[in-house]
Structure 1
């Protein structure tokens, strides 16, 4: 329980577009409910594969190496799309400031050797920067990735590892302060049955040039591991709009219910987003076999 009347939600993501792909509905829902939401992105996504020809030469391997700057614009547009009409739009925030750390690229990529690549960061420096971000915002709820980094991307795995390492330091820094350390920490994941249901529903409307994923090609978690399900049906149109804003990285199907990355593998735009609660203060764990429907359950 908490006596703090202001609900604050911090989401930590690796690259622009991750926030909408994994948690866009959750961001939109809690913004609509008046929650103070902060999305912190670790890199500019400089190593992303560009869809289409218009901005292809901005890519790291396209000559200009200006993609990261353009993706700041895409993230700005995406967060605006997720924000309620008539209110100030949520703004991007980058760990250490925009451009402090660089997208490392996929595992084994030469880009990982760049001196500013996230994987080249001193781990203590990275963790201390995460600590400072959490302490300055004092969220009750923090969202990160699972230990696999969703799909194994080195930057995603570092987001997870640095968040986990930061939490004990945050507790020590916030001891005796008016606001407590985060009371709940979640990992954002995809529920297996929800993924399969979304793919089944889309099987008859695969856009030309796209394909359905092979069995187990997309990462997901067994249903029984899920602790929390957030219903985002009321804002799923905002989630789709947020995905469209990341046009160098994401294509949204004409139906508005599926999307694909540069690999043209269809993925459903889910109207429920799933999480695993990994850390909670006493009294905030759900009953065994019960799913929460609110990230702030037990806190109000």
Structure 2
């Protein structure tokens, strides 16, 4: 029998589930009354590769990264407790659209040319929505989670995942009670960097990573955050999941501190809280549980 509470995450690429919502996935997967399902829309074929020994997987070389990231995702989900998993339309149906960096820091935009089968391609939306609705009809989640409308940092696949999830929630109001957008506020990021700086005794070079410049990591308006989930106790699970995504995430740690970076080598702190914005929330909404107010059988 299906658990009373059902939660579905819609992510663009392998590793996004860990970076944005890994602690929340682990927390609810550990709850026997909650069924957690993760949807991954692409194989992340256009990602950059961090370890030199895996460089031939890259899209401009062997173009085998997508297949390798299936293995990474399997290991990461196992580390997070083993939630259920689906690829949108099946593994490899939609390809990573890629991105170009625009403006300051890590902000991204749509590349001038899209690969064949790109998730963000204008012709695919209707088919993709039908595929996501098929999963929702099967899982029947009361709660959906994806990204905010800006895709957190502008990646076109994150924006498409947001659009699909919002449209799916609107199409199934009898199933979906709550729609959340995973965000990271400037306030939380700044506090995390300050704590990491203190743990390093001010010697940021100990991380082996580049310390971020002001406003280099896009952050969400803290006033819009409605829901903060405490994931501190799932620190080890999140670290293991990040390490599983070795082509994409570089994890560094020492006595009393942990930092990580993507291929840009810009240090980020591992935060003990994950933040969300509840779609349509009343002003002043403050939550600590994604299922707050959800009626279950």
Q: Structure 2 length normalisation: TM-score?
A: 0.88
For residue 164 of structure 2, what is the aligned residue in structure 1? Answer: 162
For residue 22 of structure 1, what is the aligned residue in structure 2? Answer: 20
Note the aligned Cα RMSD (angstroms): 1.8
Residue 111 of structure 2: which of 92, 109, 112 is its match?
109
For residue 190 of structure 2, what is the aligned residue in structure 1? Answer: 196
For residue 209 of structure 2, what is the aligned residue in structure 1? Answer: 210
Query: In structure 1, what is the Cα distance between the partners aligned to 2:292 and 2:171?
Result: 25
CA change 1:157–1:290 in 2 (3 A) is: closer
Q: Is the CA contact 1:14–1:156 (under 8 Å) kept in the aligned structure 2? A: yes
Q: What SS class does the counterpart of residue 97 from structure 2 fall into?
A: coil
Worse overlay, 235-244 or 268-277: 235-244
Query: In structure 1, what is the Cα distance between the partners aligned to 2:168 and 2:234?
Result: 32
**Where in structure 1 are there 5+ consecutive unaligned residues?**
84-88, 172-179, 280-284
For residue 228 of structure 2, what is the aligned residue in structure 1? Answer: 229
Does 1:67 find its partner at 2:65? yes
Worse overlay, 159-168 or 145-154: 159-168
Does 1:297 find its partner at 2:288? no
For residue 262 of structure 1, what is the aligned residue in structure 2? Answer: 263
Query: In structure 2, what is the Cα distance between the partners aligned to 1:278 and 1:205?
Result: 40
Aligned length: 276
Query: In structure 1, what is the Cα distance between the partners aligned to 2:246 and 2:269?
Result: 17
**Where in structure 2 are there 5+ consecutive unaligned residues?**
100-108
Query: In structure 1, what is the Cα distance between the partners aligned to 2:125 and 2:221?
Result: 31
Query: In structure 2, what is the Cα distance between the partners aligned to 1:53 and 1:91?
Result: 32
- Alpha-carbon deviation of 1:136? 1.4
Aligned runs of 1:96-175 on 2, under 5 Å?
Answer: 96-106=89-99, 107-109=109-111, 112-120=113-121, 121-171=123-173
Q: What SS class does the counterpart of residue 56 from structure 2 fall into?
A: helix
Q: Deviations over 1:170-219 (max 9, x none)?
A: 23xxxxxxxx4110000000022110011112223534541121111111
CA change 1:205–1:10 in 2 (3 A) is: farther
Query: In structure 2, what is the Cα distance between the partners aligned to 1:96 and 1:5?
Result: 25
Q: Is the CA contact 1:41–1:95 (under 8 Å) kept in the aligned structure 2? A: yes
Query: In structure 1, what is the Cα distance between the partners aligned to 2:238 and 2:246?
Result: 14
Q: What SS class does the counterpart of residue 229 from structure 1 fall into?
A: strand
Q: What SS class does the counterpart of residue 137 from structure 2 fall into?
A: helix
Q: What SS class does the counterpart of residue 279 from structure 2 fall into?
A: strand
CA change 1:297–1:74 in 2 (3 A) is: same
For residue 244 of structure 2, what is the aligned residue in structure 1? Answer: 245
Query: In structure 2, what is the Cα distance between the partners aligned to 1:116 and 1:230?
Result: 35
Q: Is the CA contact 1:80–1:91 (under 8 Å) kept in the aligned structure 2? A: no
For residue 176 of structure 1, what is the aligned residue in structure 2? Answer: none
- Alpha-carbon deviation of 1:127? 1.5
Q: Is the CA contact 2:110–2:155 (under 8 Å) kept in the aligned structure 1? A: no
